[in-house]
A = this chain, B = another copy of it.
Amino acid sequence: MRIGLLTGGGDCPGLNAVLRAVTKSLIRQCGAEVIGIEDGFLGLIERRVRPLGWDDVSGILAIGGTILGTSNTASPFAWRGADVSADVVAYQRELGLDALVAIGGDGTMTIAARLGAVGGVPMVGVPKTIDNDIAGCERSFGFDTAVATVTDALERVQTTGQSHGRVMIVETMGRYAGWIALEAGIAGAADVILLPEIDYDVARIAEVCRARSARRRATLVCIAEGAKPAGGAMTVERTVAGSPDPIRLGGVAHRLRAQLQPLLASEVRATVLGHVQRGGSPTPFDRVLATQYGNEAARLLRRGEFGRMVTLQGGRLSSVALASVAGQNRCVPADHALLACAREIGVCLG
């Protein structure tokens, strides 16, 4: 059995742990040959692969990023304006692959499945999203690490806020789903947590800040990059004209700052965490989780269950048909237990 492995889309802590588990499990359980494909689908297009042996994946469990490399955009169906999927399928045959393990987000897995549909090898998917927003998947690896990184940042900023009696705004990842802001906000003792799922009310937030500063307390605001004011259109791009990457420039944190400052006596400061949230060594929790995801993918392969994606549901690893979840996002539902919990202990959710 020859199995191809690739990681696609954005960097995420735990990718190497998945690669290690898939490879070790396949080698040990069925003596499979594992072929590592470099830089996601780009490696299939540019024909860059390398064998992955036991020693190649030893010692990488705790290393951030992916030893295979990844690419965000390369699709064989639209590569520099052309459809090169036929060449990619031919290359898969040359390599003698029996199946492909695609570790990535929605896009990566959809492409892998489409390749199978046009004559390529069958695939098994391992969901990868630092935002924890893949449908049918309770908790994805990398998320716990991102939450830990953001929580650490919130604590650091908090000490400054308290020393100066300021309102500190920290912007986290999460354009469509607010999981990171919600969990890190609670773990970092944020007083206000703003998510894409709940439009916020500037006046209400200002009230919270004033009430706290009246008691000589700082206010810590944790805002997801996709959060928006009630009624307010998402006009970040325009507010920070000419910037090469508006979102990364912290549109929402700086916009909220501009909205709040006129309403408050205390200083308001904004910080955008940006790329630090994606990187670093996975937490022990994520190492165990990613190892389970990888091992489960190897099991699906051994059982010949193709076109499926590994999932975690009710605390157990299992799988769903890729088709059944493709193109869907998992946002924070309005009735989510953590939202109620946050409200009941006094967190302002917008």
**Interchain nearest-CB distance for A43 vs B (Å):** 12
- Residues of B within 8 Å of A15, CB to CB, are 163
Q: How far is the CA of A186 from the CA of B295 in the complex (A)?
A: 13
A-B pairs with beta carbons under 8 Å apart, 25 shown:
A11-B160, A21-B345, A29-B344, A62-B155, A64-B156, A65-B162, A69-B164, A69-B165, A70-B164, A71-B164, A72-B164, A148-B285, A156-B276, A156-B277, A156-B280, A159-B280, A184-B284, A240-B242, A240-B243, A241-B241, A244-B258, A249-B254, A272-B274, A273-B276, A283-B283
Q: How far is the CA of A281 from the CA of B20 in the complex (A)?
A: 22
- Residues of B within 8 Å of A315, CB to CB, are 138, 314-315
Q: How far is the CA of A10 from the CA of B144 in the complex (A)?
A: 27
Residues of A in contact with B (beta carbons under 8 Å apart): 7, 10-11, 13, 15, 20-21, 24-25, 28-29, 39, 59, 61-66, 69-72, 138, 144, 147-149, 151-153, 155-160, 162-165, 168, 183-184, 186-189, 239-245, 248-250, 254, 257-258, 261, 269-280, 283-285, 287-288, 291-292, 295, 298-299, 314-317, 337-338, 341, 344-346
Copies of this chain, how many? Answer: 4
Q: Say yes or no: A186 contacts B249, CB within 8 Å.
A: no
- Residues of B within 8 Å of A163, CB to CB, are 7, 11, 15, 65-66, 69-70
Q: How far is the CA of A248 from the CA of B271 in the complex (A)?
A: 8
**Interchain nearest-CB distance for A84 vs B (Å):** 20
Q: How far is the CA of A291 from the CA of B250 in the complex (A)?
A: 30
Q: Say yes or no: B276 contacts A271, CB within 8 Å.
A: yes
Q: How far is the CA of A159 from the CA of B276 in the complex (A)?
A: 10
Q: How far is the CA of A250 from the CA of B246 in the complex (A)?
A: 12
Counting from the closest, the 3 A-B pairs by CB-CB distance are: A64-B159, A156-B279, A187-B284
Which of A10, A245, A285, A317 has the largest number of chain B CB atoms within 10 A?
Answer: A285
Q: Say yes or no: A28 contacts B344, CB within 8 Å.
A: yes
Q: Say yes or no: B183 contacts A344, CB within 8 Å.
A: no
Q: Say yes or no: A156 contacts B187, CB within 8 Å.
A: no
Closest B residue, CB atoms, query A184: B284
**Interchain nearest-CB distance for A171 vs B (Å):** 10
Q: Say yes or no: A160 contacts B291, CB within 8 Å.
A: no
- Residues of B within 8 Å of A248, CB to CB, are 269-271
Q: How far is the CA of A273 from the CA of B11 in the complex (A)?
A: 19
